[in-house]
Amino acid sequence: MATPAPVIRGRTFRGAVALSCLTLFSACASGDDSTSTSDTSVAGDAAEVAAHEQARAECLGGSAIDDGSLDIATTVAPITNLAALIVGDAGAKVTGIVPEGTNSHTFEPPPSVAATLESADVVFINGLVLEEPTKDLAVANTQAGTVICELGTAVLPEDQYVFDFSFPKEGGKPNPHLWTDPPHAREYATLIKDVLVARDPAHSAIYEANHDKLVAMIDRLDDAMKSATATLPVEQRKLLTYHDAYAYFAKTYDWTVVGAIQPSSFEEPTPKDIADLIDQVKSENVKAVFGSEVFPSPVLEQIGKEAGVAYIDVLRDDDLPGEPGEPEHSWAGLMRFDYVTMVEALGGDASTLKTVDISVDVEDKAYYPQ
């Protein structure tokens, strides 16, 4: 049977061919496996707007507000921080939705979140099918004119989607972790700024100035990561993680994700998966396996022990270090922590990362649910 094409807000990633398969499924169900490999089939369909272009148009689609204070809702904490740093003291309110330390992939918003969404002028979500229950609640509860902006869906062309271990193509959900990669986080920052300027032009000078400081800092972190990477021979840049959050990061810095342990169901891997991973760790000379602070895994510990390599259990993908108000409680603090952890565990020199200036001289006034 053909795999249904993944859908974002009622549209398909691959255009009209796949859409007709969804609406007339029986006509496509026999022997048409092309939807999983038919990226070229869309190229000739000039009338179809690419998903990322349509998502971007939706981000920028709202009209300017006139009551002087923008109300912004955000989902995961790294996005909350990027938005808050662009807002600074412009007066807009930024309210996070996903509590830190929760599994954002399976998070079901409590009914109280409906009120946050109802009063929002802009809702920034990651998109790429990460926060569907929150998006559904937003669609049902936002006012007419509220923008629901899917940052990842808007910045990532469909031909750059990564499907991998925990996010297989047949599941229809691409790996959504764009924000762990500085060049993509930079794109998030710029799109957030563009949306805020469009909705609240009275404060555009503040948004522009804060954005410039933020992207300069992201570029510093990017440079520091490149320098740290250069201290690791290519054959040592191997990531075996529990939570599969570094796919785009790995492409950017020429690292290899040799595997991720967490199945797409977010349940525990099977004994056979574990045995295969132990073999892989041994044969690829992986130096360390990385667990996640949000997803404690006895299995990973077992893999590390049996393969005789270090087991590091502190990586995070959307839970900021420290407490709200502390300098490390930021997207950059989170990324620096992860990069230092990975580089050092694999035998590299992380000094450029430890000394890079990640301050932006802007106060983060967002609300972070804990």
Query: Which positions touch Zn ion (CB under 5 A)?
Result: 245, 317
Beta-bridged to residue 147, according to DSSP, are 122
Q: Which is nearer to Zn ion, 146 or 297 (CB)?
A: 297
Q: For residues 130 and 135, what is the distance between their CA atoms, to the nearest angstrom?
A: 9
What's the min distance (Å) between Cβ of 267 and Zn ion? 15
Q: Which is nearer to Zn ion, 90 or 245 (CB)?
A: 245
Q: Which is nearer to Zn ion, 94 or 245 (CB)?
A: 245
Q: Which is nearer to Zn ion, 245 or 342 (CB)?
A: 245
Q: Which residue's Cβ has the minimum distance to Zn ion? A: 317
Burial of residue 61, with CB atoms counted within 10 A of its CB: 0-12 exposed, 13-18 middle, 19 or more buried: middle
Beta-bridged to residue 288, according to DSSP, are 310
Amino acid at position 9, single letter: R
Pull the structure tokens for residue 117.
Answer: 């969404």
What's the min distance (Å) between Cβ of 285 and Zn ion? 27
Terminal CA-CA length for the chain: 43
CA 179 and chain centroid, separation? 4
Q: Which is nearer to Zn ion, 207 or 248 (CB)?
A: 248
Closest CA to 244 of 292, 179, 284, 207: 292
What's the min distance (Å) between Cβ of 294 and Zn ion? 8
Q: Which is nearer to Zn ion, 179 or 207 (CB)?
A: 179
What's the min distance (Å) between Cβ of 176 and Zn ion? 7
What's the min distance (Å) between Cβ of 365 and Zn ion? 25
Residue 340 Cα distances to 65, 225, 348, 370, angstroms: 42, 9, 9, 25
Q: Which is nearer to Zn ion, 11 or 177 (CB)?
A: 177
What's the min distance (Å) between Cβ of 245 and Zn ion? 5
The angle formed by the CA atoms of residues 153, 226 and 282, to the nearest 5 degrees, is: 90
Q: Which is nearer to Zn ion, 245 or 300 (CB)?
A: 245
Q: Where are the alpha helices (DSSP H) in the chain?
A: 16-23, 25-28, 39-43, 51-59, 77-87, 113-118, 132-141, 151-155, 182-199, 204-230, 247-253, 271-283, 298-307, 331-345, 351-355
Closest CA to 161 of 123, 130, 122, 199: 130
What's the min distance (Å) between Cβ of 104 and Zn ion? 6
Q: For residues 78 and 317, what is the distance between their CA atoms, to the nearest angstrom?
A: 9
Q: For residues 205 and 192, what is the distance between their CA atoms, to the nearest angstrom?
A: 14
What's the min distance (Å) between Cβ of 11 and Zn ion? 24
